[in-house]
Chain A
Amino acid sequence: MSRPTVVARDLSRSFGRFVAVDRVSFEVAPGEIFGFLGSNGAGKTTTIRMLCGLLAPTAGAATVLGLDIATEAVAIKRRIGYMSQRFSLYGDLTVEENLRFWGGAYGLFGEAIATRMEWGLDVAELAGRRRSLVRDLPGGYRQRLALACALLHDPPVVFLDEPTSGVDPEARRRFWDLIDGLAAAGKTVFVTTHAMDEAERCHRVALMHAGKLLKLDSVPRLKAAFAAGTVVEVRCPDPARALRHVESTPGVSDASLFGDSLHAVLDRPSRRAELAARLDAAGFAPARVEAIEPSLEDVFIHLIAEAESEAA
């Protein structure tokens, strides 16, 4: 494998006494879609801002494309693309004017920007609306345009901070098709999200919670953390009331409501029959307990529960 695009070693950032990012270490390979998954306040944005040279770490170190984030921030900024969580386009400028401006901010002029602008219009699928004001565009198009603006200078790595927040599911799917295309073209994509379905599309996912990196692996291997047959779906009448009985059953952990059913993790597959019998006896007949393929959310809930019981 060639040299990693991003290397973080014990990267930390505190604000006063609050530790936003706590000794986080990881490596991101070229061409990889690297997902940072976690709830709001888990430290995802703080990490991405440090990597982009917008925020100095209080401890630890990191390199991006071999450049030190503490001392070579300007050189890093020239070589990366960044799409912030907040709206990064000018609503009172047209599609073309936004592209030209952001290209100019990265030092693209004349022939260079003209070529890249056509590329950007193509990516954003806005060639027909180049003279529309950005504030008149639907959210999905704005998001694609923002990504195009961040890629005008053709950086080898792009950092996307919750790029699809506030966008409808169809636009979100199409945005991720775009990300797949970038990775296929050899670009490294570092993306934060709190949506599980998006994390499933990443090559590797880092699970963040309360500033700490809980686990980092590919999605199938994260799911393999559970022994076969131990993640179950419980179907019974009145699941909301049954939740308490499931939780109090010995050998059952991480019980949670999942639509009109319950998900739970068992310490061994043989507990399935025991659990069904117990629920039947408690008046929730007919109860069915079936082994299922664990979702990323199951993994996430399990890891957070584990981390919190360790901390307590």
Chain B
Amino acid sequence: MLRRTFAIAVKELLQLRRDLRTALTLIVMPVLLLFVYGYALSFDVQHIRLAVVDHDGTQASRDAAQAFLRSGYFDLIAQGQDERMLDPLFDRGAAQAALVVPFRYASDLSAGRATTLQFVLDGSDSQTATTILGYARQIAASLSPLVDVGAASGPIVPVPLVWYNPDLSSTRFLVPGLLAFILMVSSVIATALAVVREKERGTMESLRATPLVAVELLLGKTLPYLVVGFVSAGGALLVAHLLFDVPVRGSLFWLAAVTLLFLAVGLAWGVLVSTIADSQQVAFQLALLSSMLPTMILSGFIFPISSMPAFLQWLTRIVPARYYLVALRGIVLKGAGPSVWWPEMASLGVFGALLVAIATARTVRSL
């Protein structure tokens, strides 16, 4: 049994080596996609157009404005001493935010009195506005515990302390999701195409006439793609680490183990697709649709599962990436061990076993 499986795996690898385009697509594409989307996909807001109105005109007030500009999020577009300059700037959309430093800012600070920096925001894009306000609060808090933005709140100012992702970079949060997304899509497509190709070319008929049983055939066909997927996952993770500062705080062993399990489930999904599709074209579309949309929308990659309606929350249980993401984020961002994410991995294992059983049964029926 092992030898016949091995014979198929060797054949599959030989074909992959001849078909360099496919092989490169499988290995390089995930890394490339991560590179491109990692830069494009971000909730972080940068180059915010900021106007500064300084009523105080002291060294301290200039420091406050500088702190905003030095943060890297803001670009200064106008500066003055009169609030009336702001209206036309906001109307034209030239400014997204304005910082207004009040009279007696410096004297209040030196006297130990709480003071307030007024921060004016264009709220027409509420998502962006909220993000910008968050930045402003952090910067104000860094100036002095006495400084707050918005309404004065007395001498006690809450200072948020953020764990795991201190600068609240959305990239750090999104890249693991992106990794899961890319691995899922590429592994499902690769296996679905590999199996359907045999049907389309007519070689499946001859394979069926050999003593090969379904399990040998499917194992032999998918094992090479597990190896290929694993290599490209490693490459993608390296890119995530080097370019997007995604740390790997947990154990590499567990990271490899959960990634292998996730890839195996993706392959089973691909085999299932192959039992439905008869042509490579149909297989490709089915594989793409069935892996891309659920992983994008229902895995917690972008939208938190806990804020979904109950029905959708229930539906997320058949999205493999949902389980993998918990373990992946846990391991790379928090250094969490199996005690934290084992329930998700157990669920993924059960779901994967179910997929394998259905896919094999369907293949046997078609054999």
Contact = CB atoms under 8 A, between A and B. Distances in A.
A52 B209 contact: yes
A101 interface: yes
A93 B15 CA distance: 7
Interface of B: 3-4, 6-8, 10-11, 14-15, 18-19, 201-203, 205-213
Q: Count chain B CB atoms within 10 A of each CB in A54, A82, A89, A104 and give the residue with the most.
A: A104
A77 B7 CA distance: 17
Given A86-B205, A104-B4, 19 more contacts: A52-B209, A54-B205, A54-B208, A54-B209, A82-B209, A86-B201, A86-B203, A86-B206, A87-B203, A93-B11, A93-B14, A93-B18, A97-B14, A100-B7, A101-B10, A104-B7, A104-B8, A105-B8, A107-B3
A101 B7 contact: yes
A294 B203 CA distance: 40
A78 interface: yes
Given A88-B205, A101-B7, A104-B4, A78 B211 contact: yes
A53 B213 CA distance: 13
Contacts of B201: 86-87
Nearest to A98: B11
B202 A88 contact: yes
A97 B11 contact: yes
Contact of A87 (B6, B11, B15, B202): B202
B124 to A, nearest CB: 57
Contacts of A101: 7-8, 10-11
A90 B11 contact: yes
Given A92-B18, A104-B3, A86 B202 contact: yes
B19 A77 contact: no
A194 to B, nearest CB: 19
A90 B15 contact: yes
Contacts of B8: 101, 104-105
Nearest to B206: A88
A50 B300 CA distance: 50
B25 to A, nearest CB: 16
Given A92-B19, A93-B14, A97-B14, A105 B202 contact: no
A91 B74 CA distance: 60
A104 B202 contact: no
Interface in A71-109: 74, 77-78, 80, 82-84, 86-90, 92-93, 97, 100-107, 109
A256 B7 CA distance: 54
A66 B212 CA distance: 21
Contacts of B19: 92
B11 A74 contact: no
Q: Count chain A CB atoms within 10 A of each CB in B10, B202, B209 and give the residue with the most.
A: B209
A87 to B, nearest CB: 6
4 nearest CB pairs, A to B = A104-B7, A86-B202, A88-B206, A82-B209
